[in-house]
Amino acid sequence: MDDAPSPVRLFFAWRPERATAVLLLVHGLGADSQQTWGVDADGGGFLARLLDPQPPYAVACLDYPSMLGLPGGPSLPDLATLSRGLLATLGEELLPAYDRVAVVAYCLGGLVVHVALADLLAGAAGSVAAGRLLTVLLDAPEDWPDGPLEGSMAAVARMLSVDGPTLRTNAAWWSDRAGPAGSVEAHAVVSRDACWVTPFKPGSTASPDRVLRSGLAHLDLARPPASGGHEVYDHVVALLERHLGPGSRAGRRTRVALTEVGRAG
């Protein structure tokens, strides 16, 4: 039995006391929740836009070590460890507390979501979770590339302890089960430029009518400006409003800063 503490940590940026729906944001490689979703120097960012005005649903962030072995800091855990942490967060904390759950994940975070949700939906909790989940993956590496991995991509794969058969099996599961008849409403966004995830076929497992081919670069997908249009943010918010709905009953709201709750790392 593995008693090591989970490297995954759950934070709430906004938590209405009687909310019945929650949005979970999962960051990508080489960053944390604040760097990916937080307010930038110009007042932009997903959280800045989502929280002004404050939505009726809760907004949470999932943090995990995502650096490639920087000296003195925690290195990137393997994919199985990350997916177990996210699986516990969903199955033990969010799904029991909220009627509807939406997950927006960027880059590597999307792969973690894909693996964890496949385990969740294939297990005993699958019937409980079915129909309550929306996922939007932004440039997520979903399927193994056709050719050999080189350079930094090979290093990431080694640290994650992931290989072709693992990703292909997971991608096949999602291709068979995602879509209108599936147990989760799965969407994907793919950027215009070549980035480290491009050879991993982002967006390959979502049905074609649920894939947005964005004109934005990879690094700009999760960074809407303080005001004005942003095709990815606008697309995500429209999906959230449809899935999460009103999301709360009348009652006092309590603003929560980016404060950790739940399990310790």
pTM score, two decimals? 0.89
Contacts of 196 (CB under 8 A, 6+ apart): 29, 152, 153, 156
How would you write the pLDDT of the chain (265 residues) with one tens digit per residue? 456 778 899 989 999 988 999 999 999 988 889 889 987 767 789 999 999 888 999 999 999 988 765 555 567 889 999 999 999 999 999 999 999 999 999 999 999 999 999 888 887 777 778 789 999 999 999 888 888 888 878 888 888 898 889 899 999 888 877 655 577 889 999 999 878 788 888 988 888 899 999 999 999 999 999 999 999 999 999 999 999 975 433 333 333 344 433 332 2
Query: For residue 149, what are the CA distances in angstroms to 101, 153, 162, 222?
Result: 34, 6, 12, 26
CATH of domain 9-261: 3.40.50.1820
The region, left, alpha or beta by phi > 0 then psi within -120 to 50, assigned to residue 26 is beta
